Structure 1
C-alpha cells in the first residue's frame, strides 16, 4: 500500500472500492475503454490506488452488477458491449426485429440432416413417432457478432427439400417458409432457461466454455395454430436482452 489510510477508506470518506469503481465507470462512459476492451489487471490497479487486490476485485464485482463489465477467468475484466434486444411476441423474426432497431441480423447454415423424429417432437408437430424430420443447425449474428446458435426441426413430408430452401434463404426461417407459400406464422410458445455453455457452443459464440447462456425452446405455427416448427436456441447471455411482450399483436 502506498496510502496511509486503510485500504477500504477513501479520502472523501467513501469506501475505496467504490471510489475505484466510480473512476472506472467514468472512464468507460467517456470512451477511454470501449466495448470489448480489457481493464487493467487488479494488481496494476491495486498499486495505482494503494489498496489490496481484493478491494479492486470488489470494484470489478460492482461494475459487473451494473452490467458495465464482464469478469471471467482467462480473459480478465472486459467492458461489456451493449446487449442486443430480442423481442419475443406473437411473431418472432430476428432480422425484422433487429432491422427496426438499425441492427443488421444475419445467419448461416451449419448442418442439415434427415432424422427419425423423437416421440415428443413428433407429437408436438402432429406427426407419428419416428416420422422423418429435418434437423437443421444455424448460427445467428447481430452486426457481425455471434449471438446464438440453434437447431430446428420440421416435417420432411411437409417441407421437401427444406435443406436447400433454408440455405438459399440465407438461413432465414421466414424467407425459407415463403418458398412453401407460408407468408405468415406465429409463435405458440417460448420456454426460457439458463445453463453453462458447452465447449462447442462457446466456440461458435466466441465465448469462454462455462459462460452462462440462455436457452430457448420455441414452437411456431401457422396462423390457424397448426404447429410446423420447433427450434432449440442457445444465446450468449452477456450479449442478449430478451424483451417479452404480450401475445396480442
Structure 2
C-alpha cells in the first residue's frame, strides 16, 4: 500500500494540530521540523511518516521550504529554533496572553503549574536538603547551594523558563499528563513511565512546550536591571562570586 494514499483520521489530525501548536510552533520560523520528531509522532499515531509530514507541510509549512521526512540535511537558510534562547523581559507580561498560542487544555495545565511554582514557600517546609553555600535563592525560600548550576536550576523552580508536557501521557488520554520545568526530571519520567520502546531524548524533544515565561529584571542586590533571564542569572551570580572571593581573602 502506498503511504501517500493513507488518510489520517480526524482524531489523528486533531492530535497533530495540538502537538504542532503546543510543541513545534517555536520552529515555524525555520520552516523545518527535525525528522526524528516527525518519525516519533508517526509512531505514536501508529501511521507511516509520510502522511504525517504531508499534513504538517500542507497545513503549516511553506511548500517551497519543505524538507522530506527522510532527509538527513537541514535547510541552509532560515533561523533554527534555539530552545536555550530566552525572550526579553516584558513589563506588561500576562501568562495567559503571552501563551494564547497554546491549546486551551495545555494552557490550563501550564497556568496551574506556574502558579504553583510562584507560590511563596516557607523556609521550614522541609523541601530542601541542601542549605549551605554562597549561592542563595532570590525568592526568599531559604535555599542555598555551593554550585552555580544548582542555584540557577532552583531559581527556575520559582519562575519557570522552560516546560515539558509529556506527549506520550497526553496521547494516552491521561487527565494530568506529566508536566515539569526540569529536563532531568522529565528524562527520568520518560525512562520510568514509558519503557515500551520510547527513546527518552525523543520524547523530551517532542514534549517541549512553546512556553513564554517572564521574570523580574531588577537585581535584588543592586539597581541593575537585566533584559533576559540569562543576563539576570549571570549578573546575580557575579554578586555571589564576589562575596565568596571577599570572604576567602579575609580568612
Give the TM-score, by structure 2 length. 0.30
More helix per residue: 1 or 2?
A: 2
More strand by share: 1
Q: Which has the higher contact order (CA 8 A, sep 6+)?
A: 2
* Normalised TM-score (structure 1): 0.30
- Bigger Rg over Cα: 1
